Amino acid sequence: MLPTFAETVETHKAMVYSILWHFLRDRSLAEELAQEVFLELHQSWKSVKSSRHLVFWLRRVTTHRAIDLVRKRKIRPEMSLEESGEPTALEQLHDSFLASYLGRMVASLPEKQRMLVVLRYQEEMELEEIARVLGMNVSTVKTQIGRALELLRAKTTHRLKPNEG
Amino acid sequence: MTRFEEQLKQALARQDPPEDFNARVLAAVEECRVRRSTGAWRWRARWAHSWQLAPALAALLALSLGAIYQQHQRIARGEAAKEKLLVAMRVAGAKLHEARDRVSKVEAMEVQ
């Protein structure tokens, strides 16, 4: 049995908001778009068949709206991979700072790779599920995630390497 | 999963939106519902008003048709009068011609 609309908002707001926040790296924009996604869900409520379909619907609409917004407004990541600042010694010590640094690095990835990484590591989705949500081939998803990880790992290793000498 | 991927997972952990998010979504849904129902009511009201205009439009159409009919009748009457005048002129011409013939014949007889 399907939950009510209000229960759905309560249950899935963190998922929708976090996908948008990690992808857009702009809290007010993420909140605004998350609201729009739920409004759209309310309008399509009758077409939702099951709880599983509901989650699929939310992930699909959220990811597509986010990518559309970035393309339409030509939003650029806050910084490029090259520009992302050196973490301080403190950042090297604390996980929360490392998480923040990695979040910024993810935000600087190209849009498709960024969304793939968010779905894979935030939502812990299987490659097949990601492919279905984004309408891509499983092999492309796998390759793109591999490339994104390689890029992130290389940059992070370089940045976080203890200063020599 | 590698250590790096674990770190990435931590970095991309889910976060809650601001506390008033639910309330704002539900308010937006309600506003949208009210706007839609108001829109439908306005559309119906607009149609109702247009039906109130129907008698006036019908009267205007009847007046226009009347004026066109009268104009048509006036032209027809003019055409008929013109036709009658032509016939009368033709008859008068024939009578005149006949009278002139008679006068000519009488004059010729008097000369003989």
pLDDT of residue A75: 65
Confidence bin at A93 (pLDDT 50/70/90): very low
The answer to whether A38 contacts B29, with C-beta atoms less than 8 Å apart, is: yes
Architecture of domain A1-75: Orthogonal Bundle (1.10)
The answer to whether B22 contacts A106, with C-beta atoms less than 8 Å apart, is: no
Q: Which of A94, A141, A17 is nearest to B12 (CA)?
A: A17
- Report pLDDT digits (tens) over A26-40: 999 999 999 999 999
Fold adopted by A79-165? Arc Repressor Mutant, subunit A (1.10.10)
ipTM: 0.80
Sequence spans of domains, chain A:
1-75, 79-165
Residues of B in contact with A153 (CB under 8 A): 4
Which of A31 and B35 is assigned the larger pLDDT? A31
At A90, list the tokens.
């403190």
Q: Coil, strand or helix: which one is B76?
A: helix
B43 and B83 together in one domain: no
B71 and B48 together in one domain: no
- Report pLDDT digits (tens) over B85-112: 999 999 999 999 999 999 999 999 888 8
In whole angstroms, give the CA distance from residue A17 to residue A51. 19
In a domain, B41, yes or no: yes
| Mean pLDDT value of segment A8-24 | 96
At A46, list the tokens.
């009758």
Question: What count of Cα atoms within 13 Å lies in the side-chain half-sphere of residue B86?
Answer: 6
In a domain, B59, yes or no: no
| Mean pLDDT value of segment B58-76 | 94
Q: Which domain holds residue B9?
A: 1-52
* Portion 14-73 of B in contact with A at CB < 8 A: 14-18, 21-22, 24-26, 28-29, 32
B4 and B42 together in one domain: yes
| Mean pLDDT value of segment B15-36 | 92
- Look at chain B and report how many structural domains it folds into: 2
B72 and B47 together in one domain: no
Residues of B in contact with A17 (CB under 8 A): 15-17, 21
Distance between alpha carbon A79 and the CA centroid of its chain, in Å? Answer: 16
Confidence bin at A163 (pLDDT 50/70/90): low
Report the predicted TM-score, pTM, of the whole model to 2 decimal places.
0.67
B1 and B47 together in one domain: yes
From B7, B15, B22, residue closest to A18, measured CB to CB: B15
Instruction: Give yes or no for residue B26 having a pLDDT over 80.
Output: yes
In whole angstroms, give the CA distance from residue B55 to residue B106. 76
